[in-house]
Amino acid sequence: MWRLLSILGVVGVAGGALLIGRRANASSSTSGSTSGSSDGATPDVADIDLPPLPTAADVPYEALEMINLEKNWGDTPPDLRPLFALMEATSMIVGSARVFAVIAYRESRFVTSAHNGNAANEQDERDDSKRAWDNNKDRNPPLRFGAEAAAFGSGGLFGALAPYFLWTGVPERGKKAPLLNAPPELVFQPRAAAFGAVVYMQRLLAHYRVDDIADIKAGWANPGLLGKNRGSKTYNEVRTRFLADAKALGIDLFDPTIPAKLSAASWPGVPVAFEKLVGALPAEFT
Amino acid sequence: MDLSDYGLSGFDDPGLDLLSATEVRSWYRRQWTGIAAALGFSQSLERQYASSSTVSLAGENQTGLEAFTSTFTADTQAQAQARVQSSVLASVIARGRQRGELWRTVDDVATLPDGACFPAAGELHRAFFPDTAPGYFGDGWPGPPPRAESACGWETPLVLHLGTFPWIYSGRLEGPGPGHRWPLEPARLGLGVVASLLDPETNLRQDARQVAAICRTFASHTLALLRNLPTMPPAGTWSRTPPPRLRVGQVFVRDGQVLVHQSSLHLAGLDGPRGRLSVLAYNYCVGRFAAFFALRAAAVRALPALPPHVQQLALSSPDPVLRHYAEQSIRR
């Protein structure tokens, strides 16, 4: 039970989407600072400035030999393709770069600062993050900015719900998971969002029955769709929408360079993925 | 060469020496690296550079064009449109080159192949966008209409801004360059114009007054958009005052370029008086204007060493500013 429900570092997911299936509001973006924190400190998110978006030069040469950054990307912004390629190279999930692109297209329309939960009419998003916090806080390591995460909603390139994003890596690293002391606004940093996404995909592939690429998106919306709800109306809708997204974006998921089933068998581990994608957080957030 | 003679300011002459192989290689590679980053063919360009041993100016342009075309895949769907676009472009490029107005071509569609119409689903369609409303490159086209009735509804001339290909339409700078959606052959012809304007002969043949007029219009409509953006010090420099803190997704200015913090430049835009302006398009167009005038200045400096027919082009140019500097250069 623990194993099945521990995806994304969350022990005991009580239904609902882990990563919001609805498209993040691309027009609303982060304010860049938070109003306070659980321990009384006032974090200044502007102080967390991770390295810039990777370029082709940051992607390992061997990976670039396999991942052509110019073909079969459709309308994926060219300056985000190296990030997706780096995610594939880091996670060693062959074929995942373009799958991440299709997911980002759905979740954020590639807007790194996309935020669902900061507008008055996005109470449902805040409800989702609050539920994620309430249902799991007692079974996971504490988050320094737990209250803020609960009120945050979801955001970033991959539309991550804030509490789950900050618990990324808990099953593998426990209290040493790297984002436990970070504020939820970190999700707007594309490298941090990428880290959350590769860990999430790895856990989907390693712990769930994933028959094909469209199943990944079903699990992304809700891992329950890969279990007892497999074959349900929602399961089919998510899969259909994902394939339609790929077509609309202009990515051919049946390209010979993309395996029919992705594998996380060569996963390097959370610390390596964090180091390669994020690097290090400022000392006050570690 | 003083660009204030053209009513322009803000462009620094990098002092390119066309007689120095090292400088030529470095300057042209900077140009093509920028073009490739904007148009998404950096990986191919790097591969071309890794295997290329070119030492000539023409070779640098050829390498860039080859990298661009290598990213295209065959599009069998749009063959009819591509065929008409290609033949029309070949025609307007030849005329524009002859007139010294290659940067912006204006042609009566009745005089163009197939009337700039292509067949699809039993009907004739315009092969290009009728770009004659006021935009960032100009104040629109007042007329007259084509001399003959168009079979596909043209009521205006065909206006193309090939000097800033793929942003060829004055009123379509809000997103990716429309010319980048063209199939291989017309796209190759379009970027070929950009490359040719980096060639001293074609550059000198182009009437700089046309480019300057477009550049002034562009600047007049974009200046206010940039005025309120935070300015960051050049990378790697020390500043007495701390630079402004940037939010993810915030647009800012650095080194004359508009950039966006931790987000895709390809999605960022500014809302201006003539519609939304893609930040990528802005940077690209400024880059093209700057490159044109940098090469113009370099070509004038190197004029005594250029072939006689190229010297004659400059000395007999209808542009008095070019004639003046060309005469000075030859007399030195």
Residue type, B314: A
Mean pLDDT, range A238-263, rounded to an integer: 96
Report the mean per-residue pLDDT for chain A. 84
**Using the beta-carbon criterion (under 8 Å), do A80 and B246 form an inter-chain contact?**
no
C-alpha to C-alpha distance for B65 and B45, rounded to whole angstroms: 9
Q: Are A153 and A115 in contact (CB under 8 A)?
A: yes
C-alpha to C-alpha distance for B89 and A113, rounded to whole angstroms: 41
Q: What is the pLDDT of residues A186-195, one digit of tens each?
A: 999 999 999 9
C-alpha to C-alpha distance for A166 and A286, rounded to whole angstroms: 12
Q: Residue B314: inside a domain, yes or no?
A: no
Class of domain A47-285: mainly alpha
Which chain A residues are within 8 Å of B264, Cβ to Cβ? 53, 77, 79-80, 110, 112
Q: How confident is the model at residue A3 (pLDDT cuts 50, 70, 90)?
A: very low
Q: Encoding tokens for residue B16?
A: 């390119």
- The pLDDT of residue B75 is 67
Q: How confident is the model at residue A27 (pLDDT cuts 50, 70, 90)?
A: very low
- The pLDDT of residue A8 is 40
What is the percentage of chain A residues whose pLDDT exceeds 70? 84
Contact status of A225 with chain B (Cβ, < 8 Å): no
List the single residue in B39, B46, B267 with the smallest CB-CB distance to A110: B267
pLDDT > 80? residue A259 = yes
Q: How many domains does chain B have?
A: 1
Which residue range forms the structural domain that includes residue B138? 79-196
Question: What does the domain layout of chain A look like in residue ranges?
Answer: 47-285
Degrees (nearest 5) of the Cα angle A195, A198, A202?
140
Q: Residue B127: inside a domain, yes or no?
A: yes
CA–CA distance from A122 to each of A25, A152, A157, A163, A183 (Å)? 10, 10, 18, 17, 20
Q: Residue B189: inside a domain, yes or no?
A: yes
- The pLDDT of residue A276 is 96
Query: Which of the pair, A126 or A184, is modelled with greater confidence?
Result: A184
CA–CA distance from A16 to each of A5, A13, A145, B288 (Å)? 12, 8, 22, 51
Q: What is the pLDDT of residues A91-133, one digit of tens each?
A: 999 999 999 999 999 999 999 999 987 777 778 878 888 999 9
Nearest to B167 by CA among B129, B112, B196: B129
Write the DSSP symbol of residue B1: -
pLDDT > 70? residue A42 = no
Q: Encoding tokens for residue A116?
A: 């669902």
List the single residue in A50, A80, A189 with the smallest CB-CB distance to B264: A80
Q: Encoding tokens for residue A53?
A: 């978006």
Which chain A residues are within 8 Å of B251, Cβ to Cβ? none
* Those residues with Cβ within 8 angstroms of residue B194's Cβ, 6 or more apart along the chain or in another chain: B35, B162, B163, B164, B165, B288
- The pLDDT of residue B304 is 97
C-alpha to C-alpha distance for B57 and B36, rounded to whole angstroms: 17
Q: Are B182 and B190 in contact (CB under 8 A)?
A: yes
**Using the beta-carbon criterion (under 8 Å), do B42 and A56 form an inter-chain contact?**
yes
Task: Give the burial class of B153: count Cβ atoms within 10 A of its Cβ; 0-12 exposed, 13-18 middle, 19 or more buried.
Answer: exposed
- The pLDDT of residue A36 is 33
Which chain A residues are within 8 Å of B46, Cβ to Cβ? 56
DSSP assignments along A194-254, one per residue: HHHHHHHHHHHHHHS---SHHHHHHHHH-GGGGTTTTTSHHHHHHHHHHHHHHHHHT--TT
- The pLDDT of residue B266 is 94
- Which segments in chain B show pLDDT lower than 70? 74-77
Write the DSSP symbol of residue A19: B
- The pLDDT of residue A140 is 96
Which chain B residues are within 8 Å of A24, Cβ to Cβ? none
A153 vs chain B: nearest CA distance in angstroms? 17
Residue type, A149: A
DSSP assignments along B62-118, one per residue: HHHHHHHHTT----STTHHHHHHHHHHHHHHHHHHHHHT--SEEEE-GGGSGGGGEE
CA–CA distance from A10 to each of A6, A126, A174 (Å)? 5, 18, 10
ipTM exceeds 0.90, yes or no: no
Q: What is the pLDDT of residues A52-84, one digit of tens each?
A: 999 988 988 788 778 899 999 999 999 999 999
| Strands (E) located in chain B | 104-107, 117-120, 123-126, 158-161, 231-232, 251-254, 257-260, 269-272, 275-278
Q: Residue B230: inside a domain, yes or no?
A: no
